[in-house]
Structure 1
Amino acid sequence: MKKIFFFLLIAIISIIGCKSQKKEIIKPKLVVGIVIDQMRYDYLTRYADRYGEDGFNRLLKNGFSLKNAHYNFIPTYTAVGHASIFTGTTPSNHGIISNNWYDKFLKKSIYCVDDSNYKTVGNSGNYGQKSPHRLYTTTVADQLNLAQNQRGKTIGISIKDRSAILPIGHSANAAYWYDGDDYNTWITSTFYMNELPKWVKDFNANNKADEYLNEPWKTLYDIKTYTNSLVDDSIFEGKITGQEKPIFPKYLKNLRSKNDNYSLIKEVPAGNTFTADFAKAAIIGENLGKSNFIDFLTVSFSSTDYIGHKYGVAAIETEDTYLRLDKDLASFFQFLDTQVGKDNYTLFLTADHAAVHVPAYLQSLKIPAHYINTKKLNNFISGITKKYFNSVELIENISNYQIFLDKEKIESLGLNKNDVADKLAEEVLNFETIYKAVTAKTLQNTNFTSGVLNSLQNGYNQKFSGDVLMIPYPSTLARGRKGTSHGSGYSYDTHVPLIFYGNGIKQGSSSKKYEITDIAPTISNLLQIEFPNGTTGKVIDEVYKD
C-alpha cells in the first residue's frame, strides 16, 4: 500500500511539474518594430511572385499575417502613423495630429518633433534640434523601460527624424536619423545624449553613402519583366531633379549636385539598404539582445515614401524598390538569426500609411479622381464669411483640411463662433471637391461609430485641432498631376500590411479586421508589461502560440 501511495505521489508531482513548465513563458531578448513608409497592403500580393523566400515571404510563411489591418483615423501621415503604431492610440489622445500643423496657441505652423531646447549631436547643423515633447502618451518602448527599470535598451532608427523619434518614445536610450546635404552623418539630439557612441562615429567615417550614390540605379532584373507596373517614362511619373526623363538607368553620381548631394540617397532604394546597414551596426554596437533584459529596436524604412511620392503606385521605380527592399529584409533577418538567435527575437512589420494611385492615371481609366486647388478653396471659404458675416478676417488659418477660426475677431464683431463654424461647414460643401465637413462641436457631441467620419473623429484632438474639418472626395490630392500622396481615411490610404513573427508568434493568417492601434497592446501583452498609457487598441490574441 505504501508503494502504491509513493508512486501516486510521484505521478502527481510530475503532472504538476509538467503543467508548471507549460505555463512558463520564454520572452524574447529583442523586439524589433519595422515600419515601411507608404507600403500598401497589395504590395505584398502584387509582387509576390517576384519576392525571394527569405524576405517578405519568410514572414508570411512562418509568421502571422493580418490581411485586413487598417488605420482608423485621419490624417494618414508619417508622424501620425508612427505615433499611433507604438502608442496604441489615435491623435485624439497622443496629440500628433499631422506632420506639420497650425498651433493655435503659438499662432504659427509647427513641425511635430522640432524642439529648440536641444542641439544637434553629430555635426554642426541644426537638424538635431528635435525631441518627442509633442507626443503626449507613452509608447510600448516607454512601458518596457518602466517595467525593467531602464535596464534594457530602446533605440529608434530612420532616415526621417520623426520616424526615428516618435516610435521609441520619451525614455529611449537613443533615436538616430540621417542628415544628408554635405554633412552625410547619422545624428541625434542632446535630448538623448551629448556625444555619439563610438560605433556611430565609426559608421559615419566609413562613408557608405558615397559607395551607394556612385552607382547608377538600374533595375534589379531585365526591365521587360516588370509587367506589374506601367511602362518606363510614364506620363504619370515625376523625376529626379536634373533628369530629362524619368527613365532607367538613373546616373546618381551626376545628379547629386542638383539634389542636395548626400540627401539624394533618401530618394533611391539604396536609402533603405543604408538604413538596414545602420540598424545592423546598432545591434552590434549596443549588444542588443545579449543581456538578461529585453531590448527594443524600431527601424523605419523611409525611401519607399520618397520614391512613392515621386513616381506613384504603379511605376517600375516603385516595383524595383520593393524587390530590392525584399533583399534588404532577407539580409536583415539572417543577421538577426546569427547575431541575436532565431528564437530570441520577436518582430512585427507594418506601414505608417499607404497611398492612392496617381489621380491623373485613374482619370485616364475613367475612375473618379480629383485635384484640389487649395488657393481656390481658401478664397471660397473667405467668400462664405464675407457673404454671411460681412468679414474676411474671421479665419486664422486653413491647413490639413481644417479651418481655424479667429475667435478674438469673431467676438469683437459680436458674432457667435458656433454660428460661424456651422455656416462654414454647411456652405463649404458647395466647393467642387469637398465631400464632407463637420464642426469641432459636432465631433465633441456626436459619436460616429463607423466610416470615414469615425476616422475623422479619431484624428480630432480637442485641444489642438481646428474648428471645422473637411473631407475631400475619394482619390483627391492637392498636388501636381505626376506622382502621388496620402492622408485620407479611404481604404487605399488605410489598408497596410501587418505581420508578427518570431518568439511567441504562431504561423497563420487572418482576414478579420484589425486596427493599427492594436499593435502596441499586442506586443505589450506578449512581453507581460503594462500597455502604453493612452492605449485604445485591443490585443490580437490569435497571433500568439498556444
Structure 2
Amino acid sequence: MRLKIRYITLLMALCVVAVATARPRIVVNIVVGGMSQEDISRYEKNFGEGGFLRLQREGVAFSECYANYAPTTPEAGLATIATGATPAIHGIFSSVYYDRTTNKERLWCRKPVVDSENLIRKSVEEGYTTQQFTTQTLSEAVLASAERNRSITIAHNALSAMILAGRKGECYWLSDTGGWTTADCYAEELPLWVRNYNGDDMNRVFATETWYGRYTRNRYCNTRSTDITVYEKDNTKRPRSNRKASDNWIKSLYTTPSGNFAIFEFAKRAIGTLVPLHIDDQCKVLNICLDVPRTIAERYGADSIEYEDMLYSLDASLAEFMTFLYAQVTSHDEVMVVVTSDGGVSPTKMDNGDGSRFNTRQFEVIMNAFLSARYGQDSWILGYTDGSLYLNHDVVYRHKKSLAEVQNEVAAFALQYRGVASAVTATAMRSAQFVRGTMALVQNGYNPRRSGDVLLTLEPERIELDTKRVAMSGSAYNYDRHIPLFILGGGVAPCHIGQRVSSEQIAPTIAAMCGVRRPQCADGEILITKGDPKN
C-alpha cells in the first residue's frame, strides 16, 4: 500500500498548481507545534492510513513550505499563519517584548496590571487583552465578511489561542483547573456548550500519570527515552495508561499525548455547534493549535522515543477526528482541512555547557559592562529576548550619544561572543534592503516598534541556556523553518507540489477558498486556484 502511495506521489510531482472545484463551508485549520517536514518521512512506517498518510494520499501535499523570517519562534509562526504576514508587519516575534514607553517587559496578550483579588469573574479570565494585536487575522476576516459567519479557536495555551484568533471570535484554552476557559475580551461568560463540557469533567478522562508507549521498543526509530515506559517485547496485557486521579492530572494534559486526545475531543464538540450547514453562503472556521507536540519536543528532544510516540498517538487522533468530521457533512467538498506547523525545533542538546548553549543573562551583563567601560557606568541594557537585544534609549540620550553609534558598537562587540553568527543593528534594518540569505530572513522578522536595537543570529544548532529544555526553536536554519503543509477537501484534487512556498500564503489561500476577503496585511500568492481541473 505504501509503495502505491509513493508511486502516486511521484506521478503527481509534475503538478505545479492545485485547483479547487468547490467552496468549503467549514475550514479546520490545525497547527501542530514543533513539527518539521522531515517528521513525515522519518516516521511514516508506523503511521496509520487515516492520518498523515491520508493527507498525503487524498490532499494537496506541499513538500517545500518554509517560514521566510527569523526568529522562527512559535509565536511568530502562529501569527504568520493567522495573518498571512511576516513579523515585520504583525509585530509578534516572541512571547515578550520591551515597551519603549515604559522601558518594561511586556507579556503578549496579558494586561500590565491585573486585580489579583478579582482575577476570575463568572467563568472567564480577566488578565488578558487583545489590544496589542494590530494585524487582522483570518478569523477576523471571516467574521468581517458576514455577520452569520463563525470562528472558533482552541489551543492548550492562552497565548497560542489568542494569536490564532486575533481580536474577535470564540477563543478557548485549558484553564488551571483542567477545564476550558476564555477571557473577558472575547466573552462575558462561557457559552452553554462549553459549560456543559466542563461539567462532564471530560479532560480528566484523558489525563494519565504513567506514559506507556504504543509499540515495543524495536518498532521505534529513536532509541533514547526518559519518562516513557516502553516494553521490550509484545505484551497484550500491558496497560495503555494509568488514569488514577491525582493532583498532577492537569499537568499531564500539557506534557503527554493525553493533551492531544483532550483537545480533539473538545474540537468534536465544537464541530457539533458548527453543523448543520443550513445557510448556503455561511463560512465557519475552526482553528486548533496543538501545543503539546512542541512541549514534548523541547522537553525530551525531537530524536526521543517520547516525541516519536506522541506523533504516533497524534496520527491516530487525527485520523479519528477526520473520520468524525467528514461524517457530519453530506459532501466532503463542504469541509477543508489544513494541517501545518508553527515551526520545527533544534537538534537535541542534552548538556548546558558553553559548547552548545547561549547564556542570555551572561550576554546582557557583558554587553552592559562593555558599554559602561566605553561610555560611563550605567544601565545601558534593558534586556534580551529571542535574538533581540534592547538598549536603554533614555541612558543613551542622557549620555548624549548617537543611538546608531551605540548600536554599531554593540553589534561589532557581539560578534566576538561565542555562538553568535551575525549581529545587525535596527538602524541597518531600517536603512538597507536585504533580498537573500539570513539577513533577509532577519529583516522579515524585524518590527520597528517592537524589535530590539541589535538582532542576533546564533550559529547552527546552538540554542539558549534553559535547564528545562533540551531543544528550542527560533533559528534561521532549515530545521526550524521547513514545515509540513497539507490541504484536504474543499473540492481540491490530490496533488503533490514540490515548488517552494511559504507560511504567509496559508491565510490568503484559505480566504480565497472560502470566498472571503483575505486578511488586510496578507499579500502572499494563492496556493490553490478556483476552477474546473478538466479545463
Normalised TM-score (structure 2)? 0.87
Find the partner of 2:275 among 281, 287, 293. Answer: 287
Residues 446-479 of structure 1 show CA distances to partners (whole Å, capped at 9, x for unaligned) of 1111222111111111111111111111111112
2:194 matched to 1:200? yes
Hey, what's the Cα distance between the residues in 1 that align with 2:403 and 2:351? 41
Write out aligned runs for 1:268-287 (5 A): 268-287=256-275
The corresponding residue for 1:345 is 335
Closer/same/farther in 2, CA of residues 175 and 447 from structure 1, 3 Å limit: same
2:433 matched to 1:440? no
2:349 matched to 1:355? no
Residues 396-434 of structure 1 show CA distances to partners (whole Å, capped at 9, x for unaligned) of 223322222222222222211111111111111000111
Aligned AA for 1:264? Answer: S
Hey, what's the Cα distance between the residues in 2 that align with 1:108 and 1:495? 34
Write out aligned runs for 1:79-94 (5 A): 79-94=75-90
Q: Conserved in 1, the CA contact under 8 Å of 2:81 and 2:503? A: yes
Hey, what's the Cα distance between the residues in 1 that align with 2:508 and 2:434? 24
Find the partner of 1:379 among 365, 390, 412. Answer: 365
Q: Conserved in 1, the CA contact under 8 Å of 2:122 and 2:189? A: no
Write out aligned runs for 1:190-269 (5 A): 190-214=184-208, 216-226=210-220, 228-233=221-226, 247-248=229-230, 256-257=246-247, 259=248, 261-269=249-257
Q: Conserved in 2, the CA contact under 8 Å of 1:353 and 1:486? A: yes
Closer/same/farther in 2, CA of residues 395 and 232 from structure 1, 3 Å limit: closer
The corresponding residue for 1:19 is none
Task: Tell me which structure has the larger Cα radius of gyration.
Answer: 1
2:527 matched to 1:540? yes
Q: CA deviation at 1:482?
A: 6.0
| Identical positions, percent | 25
Q: CA deviation at 1:97?
A: 2.4
Q: CA deviation at 1:391?
A: 3.0
Hey, what's the Cα distance between the residues in 1 that align with 2:22 and 2:98? 46
Closer/same/farther in 2, CA of residues 77 and 255 from structure 1, 3 Å limit: farther
The corresponding residue for 1:449 is 435
Write out aligned runs for 1:506-521 (5 A): 506-521=493-508
Q: Conserved in 1, the CA contact under 8 Å of 2:99 and 2:450? A: yes
Q: What RMSD, in angstroms, separates the aligned Cα atoms of the two structures? A: 2.7
Aligned AA for 1:489? Answer: A
Q: Conserved in 2, the CA contact under 8 Å of 1:63 and 1:506? A: yes
Hey, what's the Cα distance between the residues in 2 that align with 1:215 and 1:385? 50
Closer/same/farther in 2, CA of residues 193 and 120 from structure 1, 3 Å limit: farther
Partner SS state of residue 525, structure 2: coil
Tell me which moved more, 30-39 or 188-197.
188-197
Q: CA deviation at 1:208?
A: 2.2
Hey, what's the Cα distance between the residues in 2 that align with 1:383 and 1:356? 31
Closer/same/farther in 2, CA of residues 303 and 522 from structure 1, 3 Å limit: same
Q: CA deviation at 1:501?
A: 0.9
Closer/same/farther in 2, CA of residues 535 and 186 from structure 1, 3 Å limit: same
The corresponding residue for 1:66 is 62
The corresponding residue for 2:141 is 143
Find the partner of 1:395 among 349, 367, 381. Answer: 381
Q: CA deviation at 1:513?
A: 1.1
Hey, what's the Cα distance between the residues in 1 that align with 2:121 and 2:276? 22
Find the partner of 1:468 among 435, 454, 460. Answer: 454
The corresponding residue for 2:24 is 28
Tell me which moved more, 380-389 or 464-473.
380-389
Find the partner of 1:152 among 128, 149, 153. Answer: 149
Closer/same/farther in 2, CA of residues 386 and 247 from structure 1, 3 Å limit: farther
The corresponding residue for 2:291 is 302
Q: CA deviation at 1:110?
A: 1.6
Closer/same/farther in 2, CA of residues 302 and 288 from structure 1, 3 Å limit: farther
| Structure 1: gaps (5+ residues) | 1-22, 234-238, 240-245
The corresponding residue for 1:161 is 158
Normalised TM-score (structure 1)? 0.86
Q: CA deviation at 1:360?
A: 4.3
Residues 42-100 of structure 1 show CA distances to partners (whole Å, capped at 9, x for unaligned) of 11111111111111111110101111111111222222211110100011111212112
Find the partner of 1:419 among 389, 405, 416. Answer: 405
Hey, what's the Cα distance between the residues in 1 that align with 2:246 and 2:72? 31
Q: CA deviation at 1:25?
A: 5.9
Hey, what's the Cα distance between the residues in 2 that align with 1:195 and 1:121? 11
Q: CA deviation at 1:487?
A: 1.0
Hey, what's the Cα distance between the residues in 2 that align with 1:123 and 1:49? 48
Closer/same/farther in 2, CA of residues 519 and 394 from structure 1, 3 Å limit: same
Residues 117-136 of structure 1 show CA distances to partners (whole Å, capped at 9, x for unaligned) of 8987786685x532432221
Q: Conserved in 2, the CA contact under 8 Å of 1:212 and 1:270? A: yes
The corresponding residue for 1:15 is none
Partner SS state of residue 343, structure 1: helix
The corresponding residue for 1:331 is 320
Q: CA deviation at 1:35?
A: 0.3
Hey, what's the Cα distance between the residues in 1 that align with 2:246 and 2:64? 40
Aligned AA for 2:250? Answer: Y
Tell me which moved more, 205-214 or 317-326.
205-214
Higher relative contact order (CA 8 A, sep 6+): 2
Partner SS state of residue 359, structure 1: coil
Aligned AA for 2:134? Answer: Y
Hey, what's the Cα distance between the residues in 1 that align with 2:188 and 2:213? 42
The corresponding residue for 2:175 is 179
Hey, what's the Cα distance between the residues in 2 that align with 1:179 and 1:24? 39
Hey, what's the Cα distance between the residues in 2 that align with 1:352 and 1:139? 15
The corresponding residue for 1:477 is 463
Q: CA deviation at 1:335?
A: 0.8
Closer/same/farther in 2, CA of residues 214 and 514 from structure 1, 3 Å limit: closer
Aligned AA for 1:439? Answer: T
The corresponding residue for 1:410 is 396
Closer/same/farther in 2, CA of residues 101 and 247 from structure 1, 3 Å limit: farther
Hey, what's the Cα distance between the residues in 1 that align with 2:366 and 2:288? 43
Aligned AA for 1:218? Answer: Y
The corresponding residue for 2:16 is none
Residues 215-245 of structure 1 show CA distances to partners (whole Å, capped at 9, x for unaligned) of 632111222311x112334xxxxx5xxxxxx
Residues 123-168 of structure 1 show CA distances to partners (whole Å, capped at 9, x for unaligned) of 6685x532432221111222222222x2111110111112222222
Q: CA deviation at 1:499?
A: 0.7
Aligned AA for 1:169? Answer: G
| Structure 2: gaps (5+ residues) | 1-18, 232-239
